[in-house]
Amino acid sequence: MKEAAATRRGWGKVLLVDDDADVQNLVSIALGGERGYTVEVCGSSREALPRARTFAPDVILLDVMMPGTDGPGTLKALRADDATAHIPVVFISAGIDRNEGREYKALGALGVIAKPFDAARLPDTLERIRGGESAAEQYPPPELQRLRGTYLAELPDRLAAMEDAAAAIVGAGWNRPMADELLALAHRTRGAAGLFGLEAVSRASGILEEMLKRALDDARWPPSRSPVDLVTMVRAIAAAAARPGKRSRRP
């Protein structure tokens, strides 16, 4: 069945470039198995080019924000290499707006998938981007439901790590390595929570991410304002996670 499904689809081999292990697992499950895709994953832009050469994917799903070289920079490197220049690239981005979508396509991306997205419909989304017929809507496979349950069980520990990082910044003052660490935690929580249907958690994490990005990008370091707002925002994320009524029914 897997071979037949892959034959129906023009994109049978998918390379996912994303530093978030939750996104890696979720996309692998959503596209693998009976959906008929062969998925390879790598966690950084540094790995993307050599993996694309050896795996020769039909399409690359590329996260926009990653440590080191970001998604647009990685796309530029892929396009500069004769072995990978022809491979279609679809960006995955949290909090994307219409203008950013146009900018990414102007860089040479075939399409953009905004986080949060419905993992169960990801194969159909890819087919629409490719230009083929949309597949019939399907219910989330059990693997996605189990993965969501695992994520919810681990979420308190992830939030505790964010609280510890924010408290450390408040206690010691603005510190760039600690701010970078909290930024990475906020970014991953924003993306993964959105994928698992925790929209309120994703939105609150996105606000924290933007706060930290503005602080880190400011030429005047350290910021003059107190970092206490970071603790307040992390508590807001935890409060959003404690409201089950805000969770959607998506996987």
HEC secondary structure over 52-76: HHHHCCCEEEEECCCCCCCHHHHHH
Average pLDDT, the chain: 82
Q: CB–CB of 28/39 below 8 Å?
A: yes
pLDDT at 132 exceeding the cut of 60:
no
pLDDT at 161 exceeding the cut of 50:
yes
Which neighbouring-strand residues pair with 111? 90
Average pLDDT over residues 144-163: 87
| Same-domain check for residues 147 and 124 | no
pLDDT at 85 exceeding the cut of 60:
yes
| Same-domain check for residues 124 and 158 | no
| Same-domain check for residues 10 and 80 | yes
| Same-domain check for residues 61 and 120 | yes
pLDDT at 3 exceeding the cut of 70:
no
pLDDT at 135 exceeding the cut of 70:
no
Classify residue 136: in a domain, yes or no.
Answer: no
pLDDT at 136 exceeding the cut of 70:
no
| Same-domain check for residues 94 and 172 | no
Q: Which residues constitute the domain of residue 32? A: 2-130
Average pLDDT over residues 3-20: 71
What burial letters (b/e) apply to 216-237, b meaning 16+ CB within 10 Å? eeeeeeeeeeebeebbebbebb
Domain end (from 64, 97, 130): 130
Q: Which residue has the tokens 């890819």?
A: 126
> What is each CA distance from 57 to 149, 191, 233, in whole angstroms?
31, 24, 40
What burial letters (b/e) apply to 175-190, b meaning 16+ CB within 10 Å? eeebbebbbbbbbbbb
| Same-domain check for residues 124 and 102 | yes
Indicate the pTM of the whole model: 0.63
The CATH number of residue 169's host domain is: 1.20.120
For residue 236, give the amino acid letter: A
Classify residue 137: in a domain, yes or no.
Answer: no
Domain end (from 130, 156, 182): 130
pLDDT at 6: 44
Classify residue 93: in a domain, yes or no.
Answer: yes
Closest C-alpha to 241, from 119, 132, 185, 159: 159
| Same-domain check for residues 100 and 182 | no
Domain end (from 99, 130, 161): 130
Classify residue 251: in a domain, yes or no.
Answer: no
pLDDT at 245: 44
| Same-domain check for residues 123 and 16 | yes
| Same-domain check for residues 93 and 122 | yes
Q: Which uninterrupted H or E stretch holds 173? A: none
pLDDT at 212: 93
Which neighbouring-strand residues pair with 38? 13
The CATH number of residue 102's host domain is: 3.40.50.2300
